[in-house]
């Protein structure tokens, strides 16, 4: 068999794997879009105030930040497919709790544990990187595969939102909540029978002390941010104290990891000239991709005749904005490998960050019409889609071979932390204004929305600047051979 024939055979096998993994990401997208139209129905079912729904998002973000480092490390150690199966089984079990409880506490626990799905994409990218080890153009292939996975994710998010909104009007809530649980069960068997395990496993023992230390730090930090969002939290000594404790707990974690022979997170990767900026970019990107979506929705729904700002859109018109934004993300994810091949991955990442920054800063002068908002969100979506696909792929290509799962997982964890910080800052900014009663009203002021747009734009442009300091050949196959063991 010639080298070309071998490459084609390997490409065919990889395409089959990506196909099965695309279904996994489609399921992930459904989970991210499906529940949004029915949050008010869920609140009524649980007998809670609409504002208490925020605890669902906060608790799931906290869990996702906790589980990704451990699951990513275990993926490198014992197998990425194996950890995909474990995380999918846990997600399915948690999803099966939701249809059969009317207790807010039980529902909150189940909802939080569903956050295990956040480890799917990092594990999949690490799996593809490992499976493509003998192929030419490994970095480009991984980037192309990542774009396909993100396209599947966003397609699932669009269809999930449409399905959730349609089904909640015609079916009992418990039936509507059961449907995604069944889809996750199907996803489990797709992984079990359709995906092969990574050929490169590091083995070793899990750094349990490191996991405990980083978990305590993240719980304290994200918990403190949640306390800051409560009434009076911004002026509470205890709220800020918990945040500071979370930050200080990072110090013993770093000291432990530097001494450990096989750390759960090799903190030296943050000093890598290629990986460090990628992780920082992920955190800055999390500000907009995770923190700005709720403010966008509330701004669109705000009645301009009452408040002097907003679009006054209906729920369906607002969902169209989100849908067009997600389509732009799909386009950006699919275009990334093509543009990266024509230019360079580093330049493409910088360009994507600039698009996100420009898109949000355009809101400052152009926010008064439906067309202006959609135009801005298309620009943001193109850059965001490229970054969602590119960051884990870039981390995999720049990381040591024994740390690919950890590196891709860290992009997700740092992005989540950035989103949690932004959610707190934006929540406080929007509360710092008028409260308008009625179904169409929203708590917030125009200055609060201006703050959201400025912060999102500035952080995205800052990410572009950081990436300018990355070595020119980073994230390419030439750079892979030179990656140190760190």
The pLDDT tens digits of the residues spanning 244-269 come to 999 999 999 999 988 888 787 778 88
Query: With the C-alpha atoms ordered 374, 376, 379, 382, is the resulting torsion angle positive or negative?
Result: negative
Cα-to-chain-centroid distance, residue 52: 22
Task: Give me the torsion for CA of 299, 171, 115, 242, rounded to 10°.
Answer: 60
Find the range with the poorest average confidence among 33-47, 227-241, 289-303. 289-303
Is 334's pLDDT higher than 60? yes
Residues 29 and 154: beta-carbon distance below 8 Å? yes
In the chain, DSSP finds a helix count (H) and a strand count (E) of 20, 2
DSSP conformational letter for 196: P
pLDDT digits (tens, 9 = 90+) for 346-401: 888 899 999 999 999 999 999 888 899 999 999 999 999 889 888 887 787 777 76
DSSP string, 257-293: HHH-SS-SS-GGGGGSTTHHHHHHHHHHHHHHHTTSH
For the beta carbon of residue 205, count every other beta carbon within 10 angstroms. 8
What is the mean predicted confidence (pLDDT) over 431-444? 46
Rounded mean pLDDT of the chain? 81
Instruction: List the Cα angle 180/326/181 in 5-degree steps.
Output: 5
How far is Cα 88 from Cα 339, in angstroms, rounded to an integer? 33
């Amino acid at each position: 068999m010639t080298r070309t024939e071998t490459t084609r055979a390997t490409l065919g096998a990889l395409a089959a794997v990506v196909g099965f993994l695309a279904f996994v990401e489609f399921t992930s997208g459904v989970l991210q879009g499906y529940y949004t139209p029915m949050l008010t129905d869920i609140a009524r079912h649980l007998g809670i105030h609409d504002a208490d729904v925020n605890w669902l998002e906060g608790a799931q973000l906290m869990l996702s930040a906790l589980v990704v480092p451990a699951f990513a490390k275990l993926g490198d150690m014992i197998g990425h497919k194996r950890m995909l199966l474990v995380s999918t089984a846990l997600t399915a079990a948690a999803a099966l709790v939701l249809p059969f409880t009317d207790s807010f506490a039980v529902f909150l626990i189940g909802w939080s544990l569903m956050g295990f799905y956040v480890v799917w994409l990092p594990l999949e990218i690490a799996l593809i990187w490992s499976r493509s080890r003998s192929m030419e153009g490994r970095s480009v292939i991984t980037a192309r595969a990542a774009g396909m996975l993100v396209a599947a994710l966003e397609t699932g998010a669009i269809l999930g939102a449409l399905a959730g909104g349609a089904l909640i009007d015609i079916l009992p809530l418990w039936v509507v909540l059961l449907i995604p649980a069944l889809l996750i069960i199907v996803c489990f068997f797709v992984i079990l029978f359709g995906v092969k395990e990574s050929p490169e496993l590091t083995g070793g023992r899990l750094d349990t002390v490191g996991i405990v230390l980083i978990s305590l730090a993240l719980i304290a930090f994200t918990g403190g941010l949640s306390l800051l969002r409560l009434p009076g939290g911004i002026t509470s000594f205890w709220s800020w104290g918990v945040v500071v404790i979370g930050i200080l707990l990072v110090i013993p974690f770093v000291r432990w990891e530097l001494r450990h022979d096989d750390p759960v997170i090799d903190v030296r990767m943050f000093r890598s000239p290629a990986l460090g900026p990628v992780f920082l970019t992920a955190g800055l990107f999390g500000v907009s991709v995770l923190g700005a979506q709720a403010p966008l929705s509330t701004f669109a729904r705000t009645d301009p005749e009452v408040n002097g700002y907003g679009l006054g859109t209906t729920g369906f018109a607002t969902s169209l904005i989100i849908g067009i934004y997600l389509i732009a993300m799909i386009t950006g994810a699919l275009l990334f490998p093509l543009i990266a091949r024509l230019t360079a991955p580093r330049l493409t990442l910088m360009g994507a960050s600039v698009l996100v920054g420009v898109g949000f800063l355009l809101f400052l002068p152009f926010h008064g019409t439906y067309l202006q908002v959609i135009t801005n969100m298309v620009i943001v979506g193109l850059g965001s889609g490229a970054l969602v696909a590119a960051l884990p792929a870039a981390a995999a290509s720049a990381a040591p071979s024994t740390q690919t799962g950890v590196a891709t997982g860290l992009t997700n964890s740092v992005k989540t932390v950035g989103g949690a910080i932004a959610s707190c800052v934006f929540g406080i900014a929007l509360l710092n204004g008028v409260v308008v009663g009625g179904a169409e009203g929203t708590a917030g002021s125009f200055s609060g929305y201006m703050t959201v747009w400025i912060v999102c734009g500035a952080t995205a442009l800052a990410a572009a600047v950081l990436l300018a300091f990355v070595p020119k050949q980073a994230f390419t196959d030439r750079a892979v051979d030179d990656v140190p063991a760190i």
